Amino acid sequence: MAESRPGRPLLAAAARPWAGALLACCVIVVAVLGVLFAHQSTADSLDRAVDAPVITWLDGHQGLQLWLAAPGSSIPATVLCAFIVLGCLLTGRPNGAVLAALALPTAVGLDDALLKHLFHRTYLGQLTYPSGHTTAIFTLATATAVILLGPLRPVKARPLRVVIPATACALGVLVAVGVIGLQWHYFTDTVGGAAVGIAVVCGLALVLDLPAARRQLSRIPSYRSRSSVRWMSQA
């Protein structure tokens, strides 16, 4: 039996070194901020400069704060992830589906099981670094960008492919504003959370683009491929 050919990659060949560099930068950011604020329970000067105006601006608007933070909560983030996975399967992108399905639990699990306990930074008695809400939404935003901005996409769809990831990133910023306003996190917690999400997606994308992984993923059936087979059989 002939060996299956690798499927379409997530990242263009020219983009892979940049993804690796971004991964390294994000790891450095997470580590440096974690070491700087390890075992602390107060804000530094940068946090105070950013947090104070946000808290003041949103003071008395707890409903708005909760709405802003909501997309990064576990249930909404999981629903958004499921939509991304479904969309990838329907459009014949099994590698995108696997990327989204793995990235969210990996990034959030890394926060909750390791990093928060390792650095033990607290805010009002709660472990806060990195921000899990920000990690979740930036994981999804980065996965969306990788899926939509990768190689071999139709030129006609280019505006939409840019608008959707940009909107997802803007949503990530709003989530960060919400958790700062609620006094769940310091500003630097949200920076660390975003870095974790971006790093996990970049790392997984590089792994999933290895030839062996692409060959395995090309065997995953999709709605698009099944529809094509039915159409060809009826022609």
Tens digit of pLDDT for each residue in 189-227? 999 999 999 999 999 999 999 988 888 877 766 555 444
Write down the domain spans for the chain. 13-212
Q: How far apart are CA 164 and CA 141, in angstroms?
A: 9
Q: Is the pTM of this model over 0.95?
A: no
Cα-based angle 8, 12, 13 (whole degrees, multiple of 5): 110
Cα–Cα dist 109/190, whole Å: 16
Q: How far is CA 217 from CA 94, 140, 142, in A?
A: 6, 20, 20
Backbone angles phi, psi at 122, to 5 degrees: -125, 155
Give per-residue pLDDT as tens, 2-39.
Answer: 455 566 899 999 999 999 999 999 999 999 999 999 99
Structure tokens given for 209: 């683009």
Q: Measure the CA–CA gap between 173 and 190, rounded to whole angstroms.
A: 9
Q: What is the DSSP letter of 156?
A: G
pLDDT digits (tens, 9 = 90+) for 112-121: 999 999 999 9
